[in-house]
Amino acid sequence: MSIQRLLLSLAWRLFPYGKTQIKTINKVRLPLRARGDFASLEEIFIQQAYAPLMAAIPWPVRTWVDLGCNAGMFSAWLYDQACTTGHGKDCKALLIDAGSCIRTAREFVSLNHLTHFTVIQTCIGDGQPTNFYESKSSIRSSSAIKPDSREKIVPCQTKSLTSLLESNQWPSADLVKIDIEGAEKYLLSETGLLQRFRAGIIEWHSETTDGPTVSKWITDQGGKIVKIIDQKETGGDPILSNLGMLVWIRD
């Protein structure tokens, strides 16, 4: 191993013990505590991965549920967008994730003194015990998909999104973002859930559900689908993709 690679390896090992953070132009503080946090930052703030999806949703978005929040970068991006127009103080968010990456999300909330943001570590499901799989880099955690790579198996008790909303006094919100690596299948059995939100973004995984099933769940409850993305970029009908994202609004 070269000296350069050795130093890089040591730097990554020491990195979690540091106190690295950056600030956006709106002075929103973004903590970085693991390699996965960098990947999330790059995807959401630099590559603007959610910008095309959010462009299909009527603004303003001031209240949201970030389901599968990971390190909290999506919520940080939405909050930063609100700060651009001077409405950051009006934001309220519920951040939920099963993985240890949620520690970074908690720190984001604390650093920015977001008293109307609540962070919960739990696994979405049907109320029964399950396992989720967590990578060492904290990029990905799942309650329903067993990955090909070697990842840590974490036993946990699951909760429905409806029960979480009710226990945290969330009758409704502007937006729900659902990115929970296969556990989205559990949401499809929650009656009345869609009516709580003005709009939503959901990612589906064919290992547990498919695009047509998710689409029917939305339209049957009065939702209007406004954008579909094939994340595999197969070139076919995006709703038939093994991995896709769908945006809906409710009139």
Distance CA 210, CA 197 (A): 22
pLDDT for position 20 = 84
Q: Which helix (H) or strand (E) holds 107?
A: helix 102-111
pLDDT for position 8 = 47
The pair phi, psi for residue 86, each rounded to 5°, is: 80, 20
For residues 226-246, give the mean pLDDT. Answer: 94
For residue 147, the one-letter residue type is P
Tokens of 243: 């991995």
Residue showing tokens 């350069």: 4
For residues 158-181, give the mean pLDDT. Answer: 96
pLDDT, tens digit (0-9, with 9 covering 90-100), for 116-131: 999 999 999 999 998 8
Tell whether pTM > 0.75: yes
For residues 146-156, give the mean pLDDT. Answer: 81
For residues 152-179, give the mean pLDDT. Answer: 94
Count CB-CB contacts under 10 A for residue 150: 9
pLDDT band at 1 (very low <50, low <70, confident <90, very high): very low
pLDDT for position 144 = 80
Question: For the chain, which domains are there?
Answer: 16-250 (3.40.50.150)
DSSP letter string over 111-174?
HTT-TTEEEEE-EESSSSEEEEEE-TTSS-EESS---SS--EEEEEEEE-HHHHHHHTT---EE
Higher pLDDT, 87 or 17: 87
pLDDT for position 154 = 86
